[in-house]
Structure 1
Amino acid sequence: MTNASSDAVDLLIVGGGVNGAGIARDAIGRGLSVVLCEQGDLAGATSSASTKLIHGGLRYLEYYEFRLVREALQEREVLLRAAPHIIWPLRFILPHDSSMRPAWMVRIGLFLYDHLGKRKLLPGSNGVDLTRAPAGKPLTGDFTKAFEYSDCWVQDSRLVVLNAMDARERGAEILTRTRCEKAQRLNGEWVATLVNTDSGETRTVRARALVNAAGPWVRDVISRRTGATVDKSVRLVKGSHIVVPKMYEGDHAYIFQNDDRRIVFAIPYEGKFTLIGTTDQDYTGDPGAVAIGDDEITYMCRAVSRYFKRPVTESDVVWSYSGVRPLFDDASGNASAVTRDYVLEMDTPAGQAPMLSIFGGKITTFRRLAEEATDKLLAALGRKGGCWTADFALPGGDIANADFNAFLTDLRRRRPWLPEDTALRLARAYGTRVDRVLGKATSLSDLGRDFGGGVYEAELIHAATEEFAISGEDFLWRRSKLGLHLDATIRDAIGAWFDQRRHAAAAAADNQGGRLSMGGLR
C-alpha cells in the first residue's frame, strides 16, 4: 500500500511508544489514514525501560484491580501467539516469606491468577520445595518453600518497532525524529506543524483527529502544543533497573517480596546477565533526563541480597536504565499503589476536531488500549470498522503453531553455516523475517562487512531500511541489546556506519536540490 497523504489524514498520532504504535497499526487496519510522529526514536523512552514482562500483575490483586488483571492475563496468550519470536513463557519462583504475606493469601492470589484469564498455552501455578528443587540452590537457607507460576517475557522495544512496521506496511506514515511543534483546531480539523529534529525541516499536516500518545509528555502536548484543556492528569513515576552478571543457572525468574511490601524481580537477561528491578518513585523532572539514583541501586541490591546466598553489591552493576511511567493520577498516596490501568480522554468541543489523550497503561494491555482507542476515534469520525489485531501476527510472528523451537531447528537446518548463537539471536529478533535479513547468503561472507560479535552489514541495512534505525544507539540498545555484549570498538564502528549512511543520504538530497525525507532513511 502507498503511504498516507502528507497533507491531509484521518489521524495524527503524537508519540511513538507502544500505545502510539499500537493505535497506528489498529487504525490503519480499520481504514483510517494515519501519520505518526515521534520526537526521538521509536520506544525511545518509557516503552524501552520496562521490566520487559507480559504479565497479569500478580501484586495488583492486592489493590483489587481485578478487571485490569483479567484483561492482562487474557492478553498474555494473544500476544504470545502474535509474536512468539520476541515473546516467550517464563516461570516465576516466589519464595515464601511468612513475615510479608501469609501462605494462604499467596495461594488465593495464585488461584485467581490461574483462573481469571483464559489460559491455554501457559501452565498453572504449583508449590516448590526449595530444599530439593534446583531453584533453591542460589537462595539462602532462610527460605524452604516457594510458589511457582507463569507469565511471559517480551523484547519491549522490538514490540514497538514491529507494530510500527506493520502500520507502515498497511499504509501509515511513521515519522521518527519528528516533533509536533504546534497543533491547532481550524475549520473542523487539526492543523499541525511538525519539525524534523535532525534537519530542522518543517511540515504541515492536517488531520480530522489528533491522538495524544506522548506518554510522560501527555500534559505537555495538551497544554503547550495544542492549548486544549483536559481535566485528567498524569502522575509520573520513575522505575529503574540494574543489570548484573548472571546470578544463577536456569531459565526461571524470581519474584522477591521486599520488607516494604513491594516486590523485586530477578530475571535471566541476554544469556549472560540477570536483570533486577524495579523501583517506584514519584518524578517531577524532565522525562527525557531521567536517570537512576544511587539510592535506587542500593535499594535493589539490598532487596535481592536478602534472598541470594551471594549478595549483590553496587560494584556488580554493569548497566542500568530508568524510565518514567506516565500513570493515570488516581490520587494514591503511595507511588507503588497508583493504578496501572489506562484512561482514554476524548476532547470533542462542539463542531471542532476531536483529540484523544491517553493516560496510564502498561505494555501488556497496549493492544486492548489501541482497540478501545480506535473504537472511540471511529465513532467520533462517523466511521465503522471491526476489531482485527487479536487474530493477526506481528511481522515475523507467523511461526507455525507459535512453536519457536521448531522454527529455530528449521532455520539451523536451512542455514547450517550460521553459528548457533547467531542463529538463535537472529531468529529471536526477526522470526520468519530472518530470511529478509539473510537474503540469498550461503555463507557468513555473503552478509557483507563483519563488524565482529556476530554483527554483519546485512543486519544493519535491514535495521536502517525496514526498522527505522537511524543511529548506532537505535540499533545497539533498542532494535537489539547488543550494546551489552559488544566492546567499545565494535559499538563505535556500528555507530560510524549509521552516521555515514545518514550523511550520504543528506548529501544526495542536497545534490538533487531536495531535502532529507522526514522520518528516517529507507
Structure 2
Amino acid sequence: MSDSDLLDVFVIGGGINGAGIARDAAGRGLSVMMCEKDDLAQGTSSRSGKLVHGGLRYLEYYEFRLVREALIEREVLLNSACHIIWPMRFVLPHSPQDRPAWLVRLGLFLYDHLGGRKKLPGTRSLNLDRSPEGTPLLDEYHRGFEYSDCWVDDARMVTLNALGAKEKGATILTRTACVMAKRSKDRWEIFLRDEHSGEMRQVFAKVLINAAGPWVLDIVKQVTHTRSARNVRLVKGSHIIVPKFWEGQQAYLVQNHDKRVIFINPYEGDMALIGTTDIPYEGRAEDVKADESEIQYLMDAVNRYFKVKLRRDDVITHFSGVRPLFDDGKGNPSAVTRDYVFDLDTQGGAPILHVFGGKITTFRKLAEHAMQRLKEALPNMGPDWTRESVLPGGEIENADFEAFSEKLKTDYPWLPPSLRKHYARLYGARTGNLLAEATTLADLGRHFGGDFYEAEARYLVKNEWAQRPEDILKRRTKHGLHLSEDEIKAFEQWFEQTLVTQPPVILQANAS
C-alpha cells in the first residue's frame, strides 16, 4: 500500500458528532472517510428535542462552563444555518410550588449574560392574566417569564455536516459497518461491511475517531479491542407529538412535580412536540421506545398547566432516543453532565480518539476540540475554520431568512406558499439545485400528498444519501407526519419500483 492510499482520519459514527468531526477535519485539508452502520442521524441525533440552547436547567447543577459554551455556540450556529435554525421565545409560567421566582429570575439573568448574547432578545417578565401568552394556561398561573433559545431541524443538521464534509473532500459511507479495526504499526487497518451487499472493504488511516454515540463502548471493546477509563450512562429521553393547542409561535417550558422541566414546542405548523423524560436505560440502543408511563408523564405535565387536557388519543406519535452521557458518577439522570469528554489512546502506535457525551448545540466546538487534540498526530492539518463558516444551504446574505424567502417568492412565483416555505426551510440557498429547470408545479413530478413531490425524493436519493423511504419521510424531511397511511404506502411502493433498483451512490469528493 502506498502512502497516497493512507487516509489521515477515519471517523466511526454518522450522528452529529461524527459528521461534525468529518467536516471539520476535511476542511483542514486532511483526507477523511466516515462510516455509519445505518442512515445518517438514525440514532440519537434525530430524536432530540430539536433545540439549539444553552441549557437553562444546567445552571442548577453549576455547569457554568458548559452553559456559556452552548450559549456562544447558539449564535454561531444561528449564523451558519439560518434556514434550519431560528429563534424561538419560551414562556415559563411560574408555579409557587416549585422553584422560587427569585431563583428563576436569577437563572434567566445569568442565561442572558453568560454567552455574550447579540442577536436574540433578552428575558422579560409576563403578567399571565393580561398577556396573550397566558391565555391557554390555567387561571392559577399569574406570573411568568419569557426568554430566547433556538429551534433546529436536528436530522438535517447532521446531513448538512455530512454534505459539508463531502464538499471538502471527505468520503461518506452510510449503511456501512466498521466490523474490525486493528493497529498495524503507525496506522489503523479498518474492515468495513456494506450492509446492502455484505461485501467487505479494507482501508487504512493514520488516526481513528470513535464517535459512535450510544455504541461508543461497543467500538472500544468489540471492534478496536482497545481500552478506555471512561464510561457512559445511557439515558432514555422520550417525546410525544400532539395537535397544537394554543395560538401563537411561542413555546412553553413548564416545571413538573419532580422539578424536571418539560418543553412544549410548536412543531411542523399545526403540531406540538412535548418532551423529554430522563430515564436510565440498559437495553440495546436500537430497541429504545417510549413506554406508556413516559407518555402519561408528559401528558400529566401539560395538564398541570394548561386548560386543554391531553388524552392518550391526542398523541399522534411518539419517539425515544438514547443519550450517551459521560458518566460522572451522579445518580440522578437529570444531573449527569451533558458535557463531552475525550479519551485519546496512543499506546501501541496509531492514535484512536474516543468521544463521550456531548449535545447537539455544542457539536461544532466538540469537533474543533477533537481536532485540536490530534494536532501532534496530524501536524500538517490546517487551522480552526468552522466558527465563521456556513453549512450547505446557509449561504444566505446577512443570515436574513425573511429577505431570502421574499426573493424565493420573486424567483419562483408558481410555487404554492407552503411548498416554497418547505423548500426554503430545508434547503435554504440550495433550493435552486432541487428545483433545477422546473418552471411549473407539474415539472416536479408525481405528487405524493402534502408538500411532497417526486423531484424532492429524487434529489435526496442523488444528493443526500437517502436509500430507503423512511430516510426521506422521517429524517431528510418530516413528510411522514403529514401524509395519510395510504399516501405513505403509495410512496413506498413508488420508491421500491422506481428508485431502489438503482445502486446506492457513495457520495465523496468532487473531481474538482
TM-score bin (small chain): over 0.9
Aligned equivalent of 2:37: 39
Matched, 1:256 2:285: no
Shift of the 83–342 alpha-carbon distance from structure 1 to 2, 3 Å rule, reads same
Aligned equivalent of 2:379: 382
Deviations 1:355-407 (A, max 9, x none): 00110000000000000001112322333421111111100101111111111
Q: How many Å separate the matches in 2 of 1:489 and 1:471?
A: 17
Q: How many Å separate the matches in 2 of 1:234 and 1:518?
A: 32
Aligned equivalent of 1:200: 198
Aligned equivalent of 1:138: 136
2:351–2:377 contact (8 Å) kept in structure 1: yes
Within 5 A, what are the aligned runs for 1:507-522? Answer: none
Q: How many Å separate the matches in 2 of 1:348 and 1:35?
A: 20
Q: How many Å separate the matches in 2 of 1:73 and 1:371?
A: 16
2:98–2:259 contact (8 Å) kept in structure 1: yes
Shift of the 220–6 alpha-carbon distance from structure 1 to 2, 3 Å rule, reads farther
Within 5 A, what are the aligned runs for 1:41-190? Answer: 41-190=39-188
Shift of the 346–99 alpha-carbon distance from structure 1 to 2, 3 Å rule, reads same
RMSD over aligned CA atoms reads 1.5
Aligned equivalent of 1:436: 433
1:254 is matched by which residue type in structure 2? Y
Aligned equivalent of 1:479: 476
What secondary structure sits across from 1:25 in the alignment? helix
Q: How many Å separate the matches in 1 of 2:111 and 2:46?
A: 26
2:20–2:367 contact (8 Å) kept in structure 1: yes
Deviations 1:217-250 (A, max 9, x none): 0000000001001110011000000000111111
Indicate which of 22, 27, 30 corresponds to 2:28: 30
Deviations 1:262-299 (A, max 9, x none): 00010000001111000000000000110101110011
Aligned equivalent of 2:265: 267
TM superposition shift of 1:499:
2.6
1:100–1:259 contact (8 Å) kept in structure 2: yes
Q: How many Å separate the matches in 2 of 1:347 and 1:497?
A: 48
1:196–1:519 contact (8 Å) kept in structure 2: no
Aligned equivalent of 1:509: none
Within 5 A, what are the aligned runs for 1:90-489? Answer: 90-350=88-348, 352-489=349-486
Aligned equivalent of 1:505: 502
TM superposition shift of 1:6:
10
2:30–2:381 contact (8 Å) kept in structure 1: no
Unpaired stretches in structure 1, ≥5 consecutive residues: 507-515
Q: How many Å separate the matches in 1 of 2:293 and 2:38?
A: 29
What secondary structure sits across from 1:459 in the alignment? helix
Q: How many Å separate the matches in 2 of 1:265 and 1:215?
A: 24
2:7–2:32 contact (8 Å) kept in structure 1: yes
Q: How many Å separate the matches in 1 of 2:425 and 2:271?
A: 17
Shift of the 264–208 alpha-carbon distance from structure 1 to 2, 3 Å rule, reads same
Shift of the 293–519 alpha-carbon distance from structure 1 to 2, 3 Å rule, reads farther
Q: How many Å separate the matches in 2 of 1:494 and 1:399?
A: 32
* Large movers: runs of 4+ above 4 Å: 516-520
TM superposition shift of 1:332:
0.6
Indicate which of 17, 20, 31 corresponds to 1:19: 17
TM superposition shift of 1:471:
0.8
1:39–1:179 contact (8 Å) kept in structure 2: yes
What secondary structure sits across from 2:161 in the alignment? helix
TM superposition shift of 1:504:
2.4
2:252–2:264 contact (8 Å) kept in structure 1: yes
1:255 is matched by which residue type in structure 2? L
Shift of the 503–123 alpha-carbon distance from structure 1 to 2, 3 Å rule, reads closer
Once the two structures are aligned, what percentage of the paired residues are identical? 55
What secondary structure sits across from 2:376 in the alignment? helix
Q: How many Å separate the matches in 1 of 2:27 and 2:141?
A: 51
TM-score (norm 1): 0.95
Shift of the 162–6 alpha-carbon distance from structure 1 to 2, 3 Å rule, reads farther
Deviations 1:77-135 (A, max 9, x none): 10001000000000000001122111111111011000000211100001011001111
What secondary structure sits across from 1:254 in the alignment? strand
TM superposition shift of 1:410:
1.1
TM superposition shift of 1:517:
5.9
TM superposition shift of 1:495:
2.3
Q: How many Å separate the matches in 1 of 2:264 and 2:190?
A: 44
Unpaired stretches in structure 2, ≥5 consecutive residues: none
What secondary structure sits across from 1:304 in the alignment? helix
Q: How many Å separate the matches in 1 of 2:464 and 2:381?
A: 30
What secondary structure sits across from 2:366 in the alignment? helix
Deviations 1:386-432 (A, max 9, x none): 11111111001011111111111110111111111111111000001
Q: How many Å separate the matches in 2 of 1:388 and 1:303?
A: 43
Deviations 1:19-44 (A, max 9, x none): 00000000000011111000000000
Q: How many Å separate the matches in 1 of 2:198 and 2:132?
A: 57
What secondary structure sits across from 2:266 in the alignment? strand
Matched, 1:493 2:490: yes
2:78 is matched by which residue type in structure 1? L
What secondary structure sits across from 2:465 in the alignment? coil
Aligned pairs, number: 507
1:393 is matched by which residue type in structure 2? V
TM superposition shift of 1:201:
1.4
Q: How many Å separate the matches in 1 of 2:225 and 2:197?
A: 26
Deviations 1:423-471 (A, max 9, x none): 1111000001000011121101111222232222211111011111111
TM superposition shift of 1:489:
2.4
Q: How many Å separate the matches in 2 of 1:104 and 1:8?
A: 59
Deviations 1:186-237 (A, max 9, x none): 1211111100111111100111010000000000000000100111001100
